[in-house]
A and B are shown apart, each in its own frame.
Chain A
Amino acid sequence: MNKISEIFKNKKCLITYLTAGDPNIEKTAEYIIAMSKSGADLIEIGIPFSDPTAEGEVIQNAMKRALKNDVSIDDIFAAVSKVKKEIAAPLAFMTYLNPVFNYGYANFFKKCRETGVCAVIVPDMPYEERGEIKDFAARNEIAIITLIAPTSKERIKTLAANAQGFIYLVSSLGVTGVRNEITTDIGGIIDEIKKVSNIPVAVGFGISTPQQAKEMTKYADGVIVGSAIVKIIARHGVNASQKLSEYVSSLKKAID
């Protein structure tokens, strides 16, 4: 948990996402290392799920490709534990609840700790349902990342006051995916959050260009870039390392 707050110290953070097993699990490990070396401060690893209801087409398709490769949670833990030795950036899992429920909460969070994963983002588990995993996560010192959306309004106070690690601020209505324009009053929501908590806030959903990233960090402590990275992996498959490094560096440079 401490590790996450450290990355936000004295700088704006770049959080990047990829789906485990797309194009294959060996490449996932390689791409995590490439992104870390190019300046990603935290890497979010998606555990593929058959029905990702909060994702747009880009991440849906990545999960489909990963599942075609039959990538399992154990394969992902194995890959993570290998890359952990080579990189400094902390790692987080993005996962829907069912694969984890099916794996067993106790075992899952124990393995998170053993392999050095320090947080989970669960898009289909709102604050009210945290009871599902809270004790297992706490026992293993894994942060459960709170999402706040443009629709959260009166909920912001409670959500922010009980958040761990950082807050994932969902920039727009709808699902994940590249957007040309973000119309939500990000600054306004962040002000609301900061009234009750000084926890770092990172903005995600729709951010793809270095300019957008730069714009967001005017208000936020960090940005999360997902679909834009997954698109590069979709286009370049097993040869995406170089392109990913260039792209991540350009984002990092923009927010520094």
Chain B
Amino acid sequence: MNNGKFGIYGGQFIPETLMSAIIELEAAYNHFKCDENFKRELRSLLCEYAGRPSLLYYAKNASEKLGGAKIYLKREDLNHTGSHKINNVLGQTLLAKKMGKKRIIAETGAGQHGVAAATAAAMLGMECEIFMGEEDTKRQALNVFRMKLLGAKVNAVQSGTKTLKDAVNEAFRQWASRVDDTFYVLGSVMGPHPYPVIVRDFQSVIGNEIKEQILKKEGKLPSAVLACVGGGSNAMGSFYAFLEDKDVKLIGCEAAGKGVDTTETAASITTGRTGIFHGMKSYFCQTENGQIAPVYSISAGLDYPGIGPEHAWLNDEKRAQYVPVTDAQAVEAFVFLSKTEGIIPAIESAHAVYHAMQIAPKMKKEETIAVCLSGRGDKDVEMIAKYMGENINE
């Protein structure tokens, strides 16, 4: 990687107003990532506050039921705030504080990143403002209240499709107007350089732990590492430690929505093509005329028209593979995991679980699969009930 590029992908496609801030961020990050005090403080926050290391759980019931490879679940759902988002948020908010910023802003889709950001801000004594598409504030009303409870201001974004991409647009606009005192805590491995690198580094704790834990349990590396991808932060965090281990298959599970042959999908690698948006060159779902396409997924967290630039590069290099998983398939996995293991996964993570259910039976018993269970599913229960035609509010 050089100049913030992964092959042809990445870059810094942002307005001039933000360039100084991005350059300042890169310098600060390069300084603090090697700073022993910073590393110690972050380590302590991750272990004492967020609950790391997270478990690597052998899903025995599921594995035996499916037959074939042993399935391990990386339990990011057990982290404080219920998802992997806290790893990145603690890193960036601590960095913001070290840089002397008083205020953080963040975008959110499902609300996981927003809740994590509001949490970190509350704990580290920062002002916090969250941008969330109006559509998503309705889908995830509980998370909106959680953020408010944590002391954050929540802006329901009315522009465009009123979902995650519009929340990112609005966060960029807001950042441009208060760039002096505000730090933008970006939630995924996307946006302009250095964000894809920063977020990947802060999330790489996931893959590092998987590697250590599975070696301890199995004495060898997994045959495959699976994770869901929207922007792709839990996937990048899971994959990064294994990039050089060429025998480990890396598989990202994209949200296919109602199917990749419909327009109601968010599978940017399967259905998109190269473009430039949100600060980066990468794969985007777009129209014939280069307008960013409205995307759809049952999962608000994967409902994003692009994917991080490092994923785009890993795809082209064929180091990682990206597969589409539909709403119906994700719901099937959501129910399966709940019933067989007593673990209710986030609907995002259920996309990865579904693919594990497909490949495990075709693999040998000696093989293992590590699936990143990026978040817990409490937030999705009401929506899944509705999807299944049950009204739980009666």
Residues on A lying within 8 angstroms of B by beta carbon are 49-51, 53-54, 56-57, 60, 67, 72-73, 97-103, 123-129, 132, 147-155, 159, 170, 173-175
Bound-state Cα–Cα, A8 to B366, Å: 76
Contact of B15 among A67, A100, A101, A147 (CB under 8 A): A147
Minimal Cβ-Cβ distance residue in A for B173: A175
Minimal Cβ-Cβ distance residue in B for A173: B177
Bound-state Cα–Cα, A150 to B284, Å: 31
B177 contacts A149, C-beta separation under 8 Å: no
A98-B276 in contact given A126-B19, A170-B17, A173-B17 (Cβ < 8 Å): yes
Bound-state Cα–Cα, A58 to B10, Å: 30
Which residues of chain A are within 8 angstroms of B178 by Cβ–Cβ distance? 173
B321 contacts partner chain A, Cβ-Cβ < 8 Å: no
Interface majority SS (helix, strand, loop, mixed), chain B? mixed
A53 contacts B172, C-beta separation under 8 Å: yes
Which residues of chain A are within 8 angstroms of B292 by Cβ–Cβ distance? 50-51, 98
A129 contacts B12, C-beta separation under 8 Å: yes
B17 contacts A99, C-beta separation under 8 Å: no
| Cβ < 8 Å to A, chain B residues 162-200 | 165-166, 169, 172-173, 176-180
Contact of A102 among B13, B14, B177, B286 (CB under 8 A): B286
Bound-state Cα–Cα, A97 to B14, Å: 10
Some 30 contacts from A to B, beta carbons below 8 A apart, are: A51-B166, A53-B169, A53-B173, A54-B173, A54-B176, A56-B173, A60-B159, A73-B289, A98-B275, A98-B277, A98-B290, A124-B14, A124-B279, A126-B15, A127-B19, A129-B11, A129-B12, A132-B276, A147-B15, A147-B16, A148-B16, A149-B17, A149-B19, A151-B179, A152-B16, A152-B19, A154-B20, A159-B16, A173-B179, A175-B177
A174 contacts B290, C-beta separation under 8 Å: no
A153 contacts B20, C-beta separation under 8 Å: yes
A103-B19 in contact given A124-B14, A125-B13, A173-B178 (Cβ < 8 Å): no
Contact of A101 among B17, B18, B165, B276 (CB under 8 A): B276
B14 contacts A98, C-beta separation under 8 Å: no
A101-B19 in contact given A72-B289, A129-B11, A129-B12 (Cβ < 8 Å): no
B19 contacts A155, C-beta separation under 8 Å: yes
B122 contacts partner chain A, Cβ-Cβ < 8 Å: no
A124 contacts B177, C-beta separation under 8 Å: no
Which residues of chain B are within 8 angstroms of A174 by Cβ–Cβ distance? 17, 173, 176-177
Bound-state Cα–Cα, A25 to B178, Å: 36
Most A CB atoms within 10 A — which of B13, B173, B278?
B13
Bound-state Cα–Cα, A150 to B178, Å: 12
